[in-house]
Chain A
Amino acid sequence: MRYFRIFFLHFQQAFALRSRSMVWFLISLFNPVLFYIFWAGAYHEKGNIFTSWNLSNVAVYYILLVIAGSLLIVHIEEDVAHWDIQEGGLSRYILKPFPYIWLKFFEELPWRLIQGAFGIITFVVFRILLGDFLSVSLPLSIVILAVCIWIFAYLLSFFYKMILGISALWITDYSGLQQISEVVIVIFAGLLMPLEFLPDTVRQIATALPFSYIIYYPLVALQGKLNIVDMLRVIGIQSLWIIGLHFLFQLLWKKGVKLFTGIGQ
């Protein structure tokens, strides 16, 4: 109940700043649209260059990517690294009788939900405009497993970004690390293109890293491109990454928080 109140307070704040959320959403919208225009142009010029994909699949992928980009890519790291650690705001969190990680979790969730809602509205609009071109029909069992994959993807993304954020306890200015992380995510999570379109070596690296389990697999799961066994395998791998990253976070937090000096706070 207490966490729900925390969530609700942050939801009110995020809702009051919904115009900011709208701009963040536009950023999530713009690049997938640009990539889709690229592939659609290539398709019309060269015919089917996607092997097991057709243009409708590509369109659905990029439109779902708009939702996934807004809902699943957590952006808590700047809050943690810059405002809490660099600027000293962490002092007021460590005095509260709640674990820091869960306070941040409920701080971030409303922003993702609001931006995700913009994404869902966009999907519905495109669906109405383009009709069957964007059709996705899935049996209930697949939908339930796909929802699980999306929830696990969110948790995975959250723990990864929290670890990235608390790296500032050691390096203070984490911006260089953040830029590297962003590029790695864009390439290996499937934000640039579906993993099938990548050269073999890059694809193998992508499947070995956790990032494809944040974006790519949730998308193809919702497109019906995975069978039940594949989906269970994805959930298993996501669970392992979540446990691993959660453990790593706790370890780093225990060591790192001792280094924090909130001078003047």
Chain B
Amino acid sequence: MQKYLRIYHILLRLNFSALVTYRTNFFNAVIGSFVWGVFSMVSVLLLTSRTPFLFGWKREEIVLLTGVYSLFIGIFHFAFSRNFERIPIYVRLGTLDAMLLKPLDTQFFVSIFLINFASIIRIIIGSLVIWYLLAQTQTLVTISSIILFLLFLSAGIVLLYSLWFMVTTITIWYPDLSNIVEFLFSFSNVGRYPREMFARVNRFVFFFLLPLTFIVETPLKGLLDKLAPLEIGGLIGFASLFFLISRIFWKFALRHYTSASS
């Protein structure tokens, strides 16, 4: 464990050096992160502009959900997203070979190699919105609810990570499908909406989307002290299950990896 923490620390330093070296790239990424952060807020304000109360949620609560989503997705993009974009490239160019030879867990290595510092902007935007709305609605937040929030936020990140990883693993067989990661960006948007919104859709579609409805809603309910036991079980259960499946699937996929040069 200590070895992995040390490696992560080194990677943080290396990624920071890259950021300082390629400042224009970083500046552009910051603009992108800021624009999408603001967009998610603007879009939810526009969507809810006609109704102050929807799906059993007040308008401020839906905006708060988007704020938590911004914070959540900011952390996710900071730690993982860029790595998922690279996995199909490793497969196509055969550079995965070198990673497989390293005395490290390959899933760990391919998942954390690149760190996107620009996403801190989204974390800041999300945090500011949460802070502002909690203050506006005079919601009492206790230390225990903040701990619950952070705990469930981490579980949500594990769940989303596992879903992304499972889907990206498919590129071991089909490296041409590198754009599947772009689809995952859209797919994760489901977490921005209240679960109740999907209650009317086809049962199959609902169960397909169900895990994603836990990633942001459960941490928020933890913060607001509105958690039901089923909700806690749902998030923890899905996160553990999908993480396990993602590991098994990755190991299975590696058995079919043929390398680009062999």
Contact indicator B200/A41 (Cβ below 8 Å): yes
Is B260's beta carbon under 8 Å from chain A?
A: no
By a CB distance below 8 angstroms, the chain A residues around B199 are 41
By a CB distance below 8 angstroms, the chain A residues around B101 are none
Contact indicator B179/A20 (Cβ below 8 Å): yes
By a CB distance below 8 angstroms, the chain A residues around B31 are 176, 179-180
Contact indicator B50/A37 (Cβ below 8 Å): no
Contact indicator B27/A199 (Cβ below 8 Å): no
Contact indicator B36/A34 (Cβ below 8 Å): no
By a CB distance below 8 angstroms, the chain B residues around A179 are 31-32, 35-36
Contact indicator B201/A23 (Cβ below 8 Å): no
Expressed in whole angstroms, the Cα–Cα distance for A38 and B51 within the complex equals: 12
Compute the total of residue contacts between A and B using a CB distance below 8 Å. Answer: 100
Do A37 and B49 form a contact, CB below 8 Å, given A45-B54, A176-B32, A180-B35? no
The B contact surface, by secondary structure, is helix
Expressed in whole angstroms, the Cα–Cα distance for A157 and B71 within the complex equals: 33
Contact of B180 among A17, A23, A192 (CB under 8 A): A23
Which residue from chain A places its CB closest to the CB of B187 in the assembled complex? A30
Is A198's beta carbon under 8 Å from chain B?
A: yes
CB within 8 Å of A: which B185-207 residues: 186-187, 189-190, 193, 196-201
Contact indicator A183/B46 (Cβ below 8 Å): no
A128 to chain B, nearest CB (A): 16
A148 to chain B, nearest CB (A): 30
By a CB distance below 8 angstroms, the chain A residues around B182 are 23-24, 27
Contact indicator B36/A183 (Cβ below 8 Å): yes
By a CB distance below 8 angstroms, the chain B residues around A193 are 46-47
Expressed in whole angstroms, the Cα–Cα distance for A42 and B183 within the complex equals: 26
Is B135's beta carbon under 8 Å from chain A?
A: no
Do A41 and B197 form a contact, CB below 8 Å, given A20-B179, A175-B32, A186-B39? yes
Expressed in whole angstroms, the Cα–Cα distance for A199 and B114 within the complex equals: 41
A179 to chain B, nearest CB (A): 4
Is A57's beta carbon under 8 Å from chain B?
A: no
CB within 8 Å of B: which A28-61 residues: 30-31, 34-35, 37-38, 40-42, 44-46, 49
- Encode A172-199 as 1/0 by CB contact (under 8 A) with B: 1111101110010011000011000111
Is A26's beta carbon under 8 Å from chain B?
A: yes
Do A176 and B200 form a contact, CB below 8 Å, given A19-B177, A42-B54, A187-B42? no
- Encode B16-39 as 1/0 by CB contact (under 8 A) with A: 000000001101111110011011
By a CB distance below 8 angstroms, the chain A residues around B42 are 187
Expressed in whole angstroms, the Cα–Cα distance for A180 and B55 within the complex equals: 31
Residue numbers of B with Cβ under 8 A of A are 24-25, 27-32, 35-36, 38-39, 42-43, 46-47, 49-51, 54-55, 174, 176-180, 182-183, 186-187, 189-190, 193, 196-201
15 sampled A-B residue pairs with Cβ under 8 A: A20-B177, A23-B179, A34-B193, A35-B47, A37-B197, A38-B47, A42-B54, A44-B200, A175-B29, A176-B28, A176-B31, A178-B32, A193-B46, A193-B47, A197-B49
